[in-house]
Structure 1
Amino acid sequence: MKRLAFIRNSIFAQIVGWAIATAAVITFGLWLLTNATIERSNRQALERAVDVDLAGMVDIYASGDREELTKRIKDRLALAPRNGDAAHYLLADGRGRRIAGDLTQWPGLRASTSQAADIRITSGNLAFARATQLGPDLKLLVAHEYRDLSTLLRQVALVFLTGGVLATLAVALGGWTAAHRLAGRLERINAAFRQPDDLALEELARGSAGHDEIDELTAHSGNALARLKRLAAAHRETTDHVAHEMRTPLMHLDNRLVKALAATPDAETAARIADARTEIRGIIRMLESLLDIAASEARRGDRHGLSPVDLSALTARLGELYADSAEESDHRLILDIEAGVAIAGEEMSLTRLVTNLLDNAFKFVPPGGTVRLTLRRGPVLIVSDDGPGIAPEHRDGIFEKFARGGSSLGTEGAGLGLALCRAIAERHHLEISLAPSDKGACFTVSPEFRH
């Protein structure tokens, strides 16, 4: 199947296919031209033979008389043709009545103008004939049958078929060899784009031994990828440094607030300190979520670091954990997990994806509501609930950063949970969507649709 997909999608395979088709069409065209040339040459030779034969008969009549011409016609008819062009004659009076020859009926050619045309002789064969006027009451018709070219044409067709097959095979072999070499050289570029590791980038930057356009493209691609990788590394280093510099003072501030609470302040001060700690922890969580989103988006399509993950076991384990807390919060959790569902991914990221969707569901579903976790092969992960759902005006941008669903429950958040879910899904070649539902919200995670 992969080979068929390569043949169908590869530009080089298409070029080879067009080259083979062109070679076959040219060969067929040359065969038609050769056939037409042979038939035209045969007719021209036949016309010349008839004209020469007729001119000889006219000379005989001019130097002798009608009896002499009649005798020569009988002599000609008595001789078997050696070249395969059977000759036929008709000497007739002014009304077309036969005087001599093997033809019995005048074909209707005008002798006065030496008219020539193809006629059917008595045996039914096709012949080329020309008539001429010998005297006021005497006219002559000379006809030669067309040669049987079927054997020659079959031989020519066999030659062209053999030559065409050999030429097509040569074009196919040469084109496929060239296309395979070009495809191999371009595959190095594609492989480097799919997984831009240092070794692949070094090989691209060095280029090949040649100096054609592909080598130039290879070198430029390697240099560009190396620059992008350096920029991405510098960006990650900067963001990590900024995050560290922001997280550290926030953690120190939180520790000071803990010490302030330990000093047993009055109730109002303690409440304000607790609110400040809540805001600090919210800022830290928002900062970590933004970093996780950026990291997942930066590694989208990168297969490095992915390993087989038993998604069935992972979701079952998380479902059991959430089932206990669901009872405490007066919620009902229904698990519908198909066994044996696996995916190539990062287990920690996939765990974060499932927990974010479950947290989002339990946060917006009122007590007494139901949350359903479903897993099917594909993989297809569905988290649905019977809560208030997503307001129509918020559905389009629900997966954007800092977007909120507008729930009436009064719950608050940074609006980064679903954005992180989308980034993790895209990292694993999945897509997350908000499916239509009669009640509540229904989030579906399924394989990406490739155009």
Structure 2
Amino acid sequence: MWWTTDQTIQETFAASTRESVDVDLTGLVDIYSSGGQAELEKRIDDRLALNPTDGVRAHYLLANRSGKRIAGDLTEWPDLDPAISESGEIAIGNRSEAYARATLISENLQLLVAHEQPERSFLLARVSLVFLLGGAVFVGCTALFAQIASVRVRDRVSRVSDAFRRHDEPALDRMAAPRNPDEIDQIASQASQAVRRARQLTQAYRDTSEQIAHEIRTPLMHLDSRIMKAIARQPDQSTTAELLEARADIKRLVSTLEALLDIAASQADRGDWKGMNPVDFSSTVRQICELYQDSAEDAGYHLKWEIAEDVNVLGDEAQLRRIVTNLLDNAFKYNRPGGDITVSLQPGPRLSVVDQGPGIPAAEREKIFERFYRGTTAGSDTQGSGMGLALARAIAQRHDLFLGICDNEGGARFVLSPSEGSECV
């Protein structure tokens, strides 16, 4: 646009100069026609004597057919043919140029009129400055509007993200039916509907699981009660032992069922922070260690702990306690006689439980977190259903944490850390 304006201004100046030359030349020709050569020479001298107010100087040359000067301020005839009234740019001295037109006014006389181009550099500079300032204002306004639009879009996307992250059901319901939907609203609406559907499926899954668990748990509890009554009748020693073993099997079955339900619930709630509260994890781990101290002494183990103060975690305290107790129960099961069990808690949080048992082969370090899997190092007399570590990892994932196992010289080292890959650093 600036280039077009610049060219238009220059063309306008040029057209104005051509027109003024033609008018001036026509006037002098009329003077010659009416007053003769002497009158023409006088008028040329008069015009040269004038001081132009617009700064545009005029130049004249009246000459014979051979180009010899008769009147005017120019001394030499330029390369313009008066026979055809030729026009063009001519040099005025060493520094200036002018637009000129030549014409024959009689058989022996020829006349040249030239006007210098008006000074236009100042005007062009002003126009350039206006365009520069206007462009700067335009770019500034565009950048400002873009920034405002960007902030609004980021704010809307942030609100949508926060609603999904916090599971803000009223906000999600509003996004599912926007009044004047645009592209962002449509995406949010579709995502909200998908989340609502997933929420309904999760609730249906929970209801079904709880119903199944109830249908299984109730007859098992009735069966356990009948076994207790049979034991109370004091049968022979062999029968009593079998009844006690059956009762232990029932308890393991109920425990396995409850662990499965807890794993499913933790996996279903993964990423849902509803109901989460700040937990003093330092205090929780210390209380559990103190609680297990007597059991460790009874089992011949040396339980020691090193717990940093003020390690807080956003989560469910009961579930976090279960991670710690499951890891300690696992250490109690597989530790060597008289071995040490060490619990450490550092900010992060970074919780480690180390024992001096047989350890876990590298090939099994992921498998042991699968449901029902029991490592090859577990003896036949080691009790357990293979659900403890699977449940602990599911709870960790529910809290956006990672539970893994790291290299350790003699024994196993389980580490709870903020993300996968950082547990063994």
TM-score (norm 1): 0.69
> In the alignment, is the contact (CA less than 8 A) between 1:88 and 1:144 conserved in 2?
no
SS of alignment partner, residue 403 of structure 2: strand
CA distance 1:212–1:57, shift in 2 (3 Å):
closer
Asked if residue 234 in structure 1 is aligned to residue 198 in structure 2, the reply is no
SS of alignment partner, residue 271 of structure 2: coil
Give the match for residue 346 of structure 2: 376
Asked if residue 183 in structure 1 is aligned to residue 156 in structure 2, the reply is yes
Counterpart-to-counterpart distance in 1, 2:294 and 2:40: 125
> 1:257-296 maps to which residues of 2 (within 5 A)?
257-296=227-266
Give the match for residue 427 of structure 1: 398
Question: Aligned match of 2:18 in 51, 55, 62?
Answer: 51
The structural deviation recorded for 1:438 is 5.2
The structural deviation recorded for 1:218 is 7.2
The structural deviation recorded for 1:188 is 6.6
CA distance 1:407–1:88, shift in 2 (3 Å):
farther
CA distance 1:360–1:133, shift in 2 (3 Å):
farther
Q: What amino acid is aligned across from residue 299 of structure 1 in structure 2?
A: D
Deviations 1:122-160 (CA, angstroms, capped at 9, x unpaired): 56xxx665577889x999976425411223443454455
Counterpart-to-counterpart distance in 1, 2:302 and 2:97: 100
The structural deviation recorded for 1:243 is 1.2
Q: Which moved more, 1:436-445 or 1:63-72?
A: 63-72
Q: What amino acid is aligned across from residue 360 of structure 2 in structure 1?
A: I
For this pair of structures, how many residues does the alignment match?
A: 402
Give the match for residue 443 of structure 1: 414
Counterpart-to-counterpart distance in 2, 1:365 and 1:104: 120
Give the match for residue 151 of structure 1: 126
Question: Aligned match of 2:167 in 186, 189, 195?
Answer: 195
> In the alignment, is the contact (CA less than 8 A) between 1:88 and 1:102 conserved in 2?
no
TM-score (norm 2): 0.73
Counterpart-to-counterpart distance in 1, 2:41 and 2:414: 106
Give the match for residue 30 of structure 1: none
> In the alignment, is the contact (CA less than 8 A) between 1:343 and 1:379 conserved in 2?
yes
Asked if residue 38 in structure 1 is aligned to residue 5 in structure 2, the reply is yes
Q: What amino acid is aligned across from residue 383 of structure 1 in structure 2?
A: V
Counterpart-to-counterpart distance in 1, 2:113 and 2:329: 111
Give the match for residue 16 of structure 1: none
CA distance 1:100–1:391, shift in 2 (3 Å):
farther
CA distance 1:155–1:267, shift in 2 (3 Å):
same
Counterpart-to-counterpart distance in 1, 2:51 and 2:115: 16
> In the alignment, is the contact (CA less than 8 A) between 1:383 and 1:443 conserved in 2?
yes
Question: Aligned match of 1:82 in 34, 53, 61?
Answer: 53
Q: Any stretches of 5+ residues in structure 1 without a counterpart?
A: 1-32
- What is the CA RMSD across the aligned residues, in angstroms? 4.8
The structural deviation recorded for 1:167 is 6.8
Deviations 1:173-220 (CA, angstroms, capped at 9, x unpaired): 6x479758x929x947962673265x5676567x45x36467777777
> In the alignment, is the contact (CA less than 8 A) between 2:61 and 2:70 conserved in 1?
yes
> In the alignment, is the contact (CA less than 8 A) between 2:165 and 2:271 conserved in 1?
no
SS of alignment partner, residue 398 of structure 1: helix
Q: What amino acid is aligned across from residue 53 of structure 2 in structure 1?
A: R
Q: Any stretches of 5+ residues in structure 2 without a counterpart?
A: 64-68, 105-109, 421-425
CA distance 1:90–1:330, shift in 2 (3 Å):
farther
